[in-house]
Amino acid sequence: MNNALHFPPGFVWGTASSSHQVEGNNHNNQWWLFEQKPGAIFDGSRSGLAADWWAHAERDLDLMQQFGLTAHRMSLEWSRIEPEPGYFAEDAMGRYRQILQGMRERGIQPMVTFHHFTNPMWLERKGGWEHSEVIARFQNYVRHTVERLSDLCDTWLTINEPLVYVAQGWFRGIWPPEKQDAVGALKVLRHLLLAHGAAYQAIHAVQPKAQVGVAMAVRNFHPSNPDSRFDQFAGWIKRFIGQEIWFKGTQDGRVRLPLGLNEYHKPLDHSADFIGINYYSRDFTRFTFNPLRLFGEEHYAEGGEFSDSGQKGVYSQLAPEGLHHVLQELAPFGLPIYITENGLPDRDDDQRPRWLLSHLHRVHDAIRDGSPVKGYYHWTFADNYEWSEGWHLRFGLVELDEVTQERRPRPSADLYSAIARENGVSRAVTAQYAPELLPLLFP
C-alpha cells in the first residue's frame, strides 16, 4: 500500500514574499504614495511596518528554520538600493547581505526577485516603465546588486508577473500609475521583456553559473463557451500576450506582435535558465470588444469552492487541476520549473490545509507525468500587505498581528513543515489535516 506521495530527492520546499509587502517603511516607492490616497486601498489600510522585515527579518527566518523549510523567495527593493539615480546606498545593501547571510546560516536557500511591482519614486518621475531608458537603468541596478550579492545568492528572478503589473496599472487602472491606456500597456510590456533580457546578460556576466528566470502568473483562460470562436480568441490572446510571448521570446530572442515586429534581440535569446510560475486559480474567458480587457472578460466556473476573496477575487476558486494542466503545457520547453507562488487568502485556516494538499497532489501527478518541477514556494510565510486589498486578505502560514508584530503559526504551518521534512505528502498528514482527500490522494 502506498503511504506517501514522495517528491524527487532535493525537491525545494519554501515560501515566497516581496519587499514592499514585508519590509515596512518603504516610503521611497510609488506604492507608498499610492496607499496614502483615500479610496486606493480596499480597507483603507497602509503597509506601514508591514511584517517588519527591514528591522527584524530574522524573527521569521528563525521560524522558517524551526519549521524545517529549506528555501525562501524574497525581493529586493530598488528604491532602497538606488534611492537616487546612479547613487547606490551601501547601508541598504549591507542589510540585504545580512538577511541573505541569515538565511544561509539557517539552511534556507534564497531565490531573489529584482522587480516585484514597486519602483523608486525617481524612476516614476522619469516616466517609469513607459520610457525606454528604464531598460538600461534596470540593467545597471541589477548588475550592481549581483556584484555585491553573488557570494550569497545564485538564483534570481528578474521580474515578477509582468502581465499582472501591467493589467492592474495600465488596463484596469486600479494600481499605480492608475492608467487605462492600451498603448502605454504594450510599451511597458515590451520594456519589461527587453529589461529581462538585459538583466539576464548582466547577471551571467558577473556570475556565469547563476540560474535566472521570470516569475510568470499562469492562468488557463479556457474559452467560456468552447464552441465560440470569439471566446476562443479571447482566451488565446490573453495567453499569448501574458504568457507565450514571454516563454517563446526568452527562448528564441524574438519580440512578437504586438510587443514588437518579431524582431530579434540577442540579449533575449536563451535568457531563461528555468521557468517560474505563480499559480492561484483557473478561469474562463468570455469575449468582449473592450481592448482594455484584452478582449476577454474573465470568470470562474459555476459552483466550486472560493477562498476568502470570494467570487470577485482574482485568486479565489479552488482549481488544482489547472496547475497540472499548466505544468504539462510547459514541460516541452525542457527547462526546470519552480512553482514560485501558490497559496490562498484564508484567515481562519479552514481551507488552506485542503487547498495545499490538493495542489501538491497535482504537482506530484505532473512530476510523475514527466514535468521537471524542482521546487514549490508557498505564498506566503507570515501574513503580509496584500497590495490594494490591504490587510484584509491573509495569505500566511503564520498569522501576523501587524500592530504588535506577534506571530502565531496556523495549523497549515505544521502541515507544511511535515511535508517539507518528509519530502512528500504522507497518508498520515492527509488523514490528520484533510481526511476527505484520502480517497483521491491514496486510492
The three three-digit cell numbers of residue 114, written as one number: 529584482
Q: Which of residues 262-291 bind ligand BGC (CB under 6 A)?
A: 278
Question: In this chain, which stretch among 89-97, 158-166, 346-354, 397-405 interacts with ligand BGC, using CB under 6 A?
Answer: 158-166
Q: Which is nearer to ligand BGC, 130 or 386 (CB)?
A: 386
- 28 alpha-carbon distance from chain centroid: 22
The yes or no reply on residue 47 touching ligand BGC (CB under 6 A) is no
The yes or no reply on residue 19 touching ligand BGC (CB under 6 A) is no
Q: Which of 7, 14, 18, 96 binds ligand BGC (CB under 6 A)?
A: 18
* Least distance CB 422 / ligand BGC (angstroms): 27
CA distance 355 to 411: 13
The yes or no reply on residue 308 touching ligand BGC (CB under 6 A) is no
CA distance 364 to 114: 29
Q: Which of 386, 397, 420, 441 binds ligand BGC (CB under 6 A)?
A: 386
Question: In this chain, which stretch among 157-165, 203-211, 238-246, 284-292 interacts with ligand BGC, using CB under 6 A?
Answer: 157-165
* Least distance CB 218 / ligand BGC (angstroms): 11
The yes or no reply on residue 60 touching ligand BGC (CB under 6 A) is no
The yes or no reply on residue 158 touching ligand BGC (CB under 6 A) is no
* Least distance CB 315 / ligand BGC (angstroms): 5
The contacts of residue 178 (CB under 8 Å, 6+ apart) are 34, 169
Helices 182-206 + 133-149 axis angle, to 10: 30
* Least distance CB 109 / ligand BGC (angstroms): 20
- How many positions of this chain bind ligand BGC (CB under 6 A)? 12
Q: Which of 30, 160, 220, 316 binds ligand BGC (CB under 6 A)?
A: 160
* Least distance CB 274 / ligand BGC (angstroms): 17
- 112 alpha-carbon distance from chain centroid: 11
Q: Which is nearer to ligand BGC, 19 or 207 (CB)?
A: 19
Distance set, CA 123 to CA 29, 133, 295 (Å): 9, 10, 31
Q: Which of 379, 381, 391, 433 binds ligand BGC (CB under 6 A)?
A: 379
Q: Which of 64, 164, 193, 420 binds ligand BGC (CB under 6 A)?
A: 164
Q: Which of 130, 154, 161, 402 binds ligand BGC (CB under 6 A)?
A: 161
Neighbours of 266 (CB within 10 A): 10
The yes or no reply on residue 77 touching ligand BGC (CB under 6 A) is no
Q: Which of 156, 315, 338, 433 binds ligand BGC (CB under 6 A)?
A: 315
* Least distance CB 147 / ligand BGC (angstroms): 26
The yes or no reply on residue 141 touching ligand BGC (CB under 6 A) is no
Q: Which is nearer to ligand BGC, 231 or 402 (CB)?
A: 402
Q: Which is nearer to ligand BGC, 51 or 217 (CB)?
A: 217
The three three-digit cell numbers of residue 276, written as one number: 517560474
Q: Which is nearer to ligand BGC, 201 or 342 (CB)?
A: 342
Q: Which of residues 171-230 bind ligand BGC (CB under 6 A)?
A: 217
Q: Which is nearer to ligand BGC, 231 or 386 (CB)?
A: 386
By CB under 6 A, name the binding residues for ligand BGC.
Answer: 18, 21, 160-161, 164, 217, 278, 315, 341, 379, 386, 395
